[in-house]
Structure 1
Amino acid sequence: HKTIIADGLATGVTAVLPHGGDLFRSKVRAAVDIINGFGKSVGLMQLSELCTIETPILLTNTFSVAPCAEALIKRAIAANPEIGRKTSTVNPVVCECNDGGINDIQAMAVTRHDAEAALDAASAGPVEQGSIGAGTGMTSFGFKAGIGSASRSVEIGSRAFTLGALVLSNFGRAGDLVLPDGRRADPKGLGEPESGSIIIILGTDIPLDYRQLNRAASRAGAGIARLGSYWGHGSGDIAIAFTTADPLPHVSPSPFISISRVDDRYIDLVFEAVVETTVEAVLNALCAAQGVAGRNRRRIPALTDWLKEPL
């Protein structure tokens, strides 16, 4: 993460690295599901067409997509100087949410160097959650939100796999949040239309083909619906799913490539994990965040302030 907090500013960048190597040379299979397309992300068209990811994924605010894309392109070129000259160009993937309710988004405070700092800070350890990085200025269901993550172990046959979700949570109308115990959490905010967006990144080592990854990504919508969202007109809700199994070389030494995939008889185990991790990641984003004052001086409470009993 790279967090920016200053006078009027509450924003940042969060980086997701599918693996620690050169993604341009060793691409991961991926798919994207546009649950509701009110968004300004970069790189999703080629991702949808070629079903691969060849850069880290950066998350940020709506007006900071450009410097983040520049950081990804420059870093890829530094590692592979032939990009755009002796080989193909590179497809940066940057997703965004509008944090303008807390952050002065017109200041366009995020720079390429901030994006690079987020990339440099990425690690394989536990994910810091709540009001951090890209999640610094985000809200959900009238509460302060931000970055959340969750994971599940999935056993298929005699093998154990992991599926993880990371969300940039900035969606949901105040009063619509349905908690796992059935309570409806209402911060007594304004009855504004649902807007704001959520980005859901799903990563796994389960061998899934492109079709299965797309089907898995689409199940993230069931997760956010379970929380009370109806995918409002102004909400950009996007799910990206990737697998680290059988990475694809930039240039294959053979005209044929073999990949493994799970038999569809077991795919419901994946779907269930997607829904559960999506729900839990959003709740973790809400529970890890602290209440703040918005730009209009209206206080945005934390979900933990509202809860009388822990989830």
Structure 2
Amino acid sequence: MNGRSRARALGVLPGPLPTGPLNAITDVAGVLVGHTTIDDGADLHTGVTAIVPATVRALPAAVHTGNGYGKLVGSTQVDELGVLESPIVLTGTLSVFRAADAVLTYLMGLHPGELSFNPLVGETNDGFLSDIRRRPITERHVLDALEGAHGGLPAEGCVGAGTGTTALGYKAGIGTSSRRLDAGGGPVTVGALVQANFGGTLTVRGVPMPVEELVPGAGRVEPPGNSCVIVVATDAPLDARQLGRLARRAIFAMGRVGASYSHGSGDYAIAFSTADPAPALPDAVLSPVFAAVMDAVEEALLNSLFMATTTTGVEGHTSHAVPYDRL
């Protein structure tokens, strides 16, 4: 462990709903997470994060684009068919295409004889801290994240695809959270995992916490190409249209923590269900699920910052961790 604390350990509790036992996307049964981290202590701070459903064929799914300044490989087919056919892999911007090819290798190994696949791979630009033009991600890095995906509490902060990211003026990374509730007469779990790398002013439960005030001598860091990818998983029986509604709420939740939703921010949410969508829950009972999504994403975003450590990378650029004493 890196000595950092999650939001709940610091007394920050978004929303009234209970979390799952791990307070993570892996509370949704059958959802696994794997990381590969590249950190040479100097110019490379990047990696791969894989979200792997136990069944990755024909899961109901949807993508919502808050701002499309990014590269989400495979998203148009998910939009068209409402189906997720691969694990979801996250990495750095200029490595997204190599990562997609590696996911293709993985899928071809799982399904010999098939002739068409749709890898879903997203990215954020970690070029402020990592030498992004070196494109260090290899097929082996991606396969290691996929094949090493497991249950339990995923690592957060400066790990995997979050190794070199910065958000809201501070060092950020990967964060996750979950909520449990009753919807439609039965128990439902909603989990979120985020790759946070976007601009704005950190806001914690409505209180702005600008880096200029909390970290003496630190200037505001607004890396170019700042973005956010949010993955929402649930075991609620929802169809693709309804999952699109969940994905939209995930983007809305970024506003709670102070997102600026800037011109250069590629903000995407991917939502999928592990349940059979027939019959789907009626729309009239979805309001508590929407609340669960927004609370889980808010907490996942805070965890992505609170679990990250101060990092100095390429060209001496430094991104500071959120200081707990000032928080």
**Structure 2 residue identity aligned to 1:30:** A
CA-CA distance at 1:192 after TM superposition: 4.5
- Deviates most, 272-281 or 222-231: 222-231
For residues 192 and 156 of structure 1, what CA distance do their matches in structure 2 show? Answer: 40
Identity of aligned residues (%): 41
> Secondary structure in 1 aligned to 2:264?
coil
Segments of 5+ residues of structure 2 without an aligned counterpart are: 1-34, 213-217
Structure 2 counterpart of 1:284: 303
Amino acid at match of 1:161: V
User: Which of 162, 170, 174 in structure 2 is aligned with 1:143?
Assistant: 170
Name whichever of 2-11 and 140-149 sits farther off: 2-11
C-alpha contact 1:202 1:239 (8 A) present in aligned 2: yes
Question: Quick one: distance in 2 between partners of 1:166 and 1:181?
Answer: 22
Partner of 1:56: 87
What secondary structure is seen at the aligned counterpart in 2 of 1:246? coil
Cα displacement string for residues 65-92 of structure 1 (whole angstroms, at most 9, x for unaligned residues) = 12211121112112212111xxxx0000
Counterpart Cα distance in 1 of 2:142 and 2:123: 13
TM-score normalised over the length of structure 1 = 0.88
Shift of 1:180: 1.0
TM-score (norm 2): 0.84
Q: Please say if 1:202 is aligned against 2:232.
A: yes
Equivalent positions of 1:1-311 (< 5 A) are 1-6=35-40, 7-18=42-53, 20-21=54-55, 23=56, 26-84=57-115, 89-173=116-200, 176-180=201-205, 182-187=207-212, 188-190=218-220, 192=222, 195-246=225-276, 259-303=278-322, 305=323, 307-308=324-325
SS in structure 2 of the partner of residue 199 of structure 1: strand
Post-superposition shift, 1:52? 0.6
The AA in structure 2 aligned to 1:134 is A
Structure 1 unaligned residues grouped into runs of 5+: 248-258
- Structure 1 residues 56, 234: CA separation in 2 closer, same or farther (over 3 Å shift)? same
Describe the shift of the 1:240–1:137 C-alpha distance in structure 2 as closer, same or farther (beyond 3 A).
Answer: same
Greater Rg over alpha carbons, structure: 1
Over aligned residue pairs, what C-alpha RMSD do you find? 1.6
Rounded Cα–Cα distance in structure 1 between residues aligned with 2:222 and 2:198:
12
Distance 1:28 1:57 in 2: 12
What is the deviation of 1:158?
3.5
SS in 1 for 2:144: helix
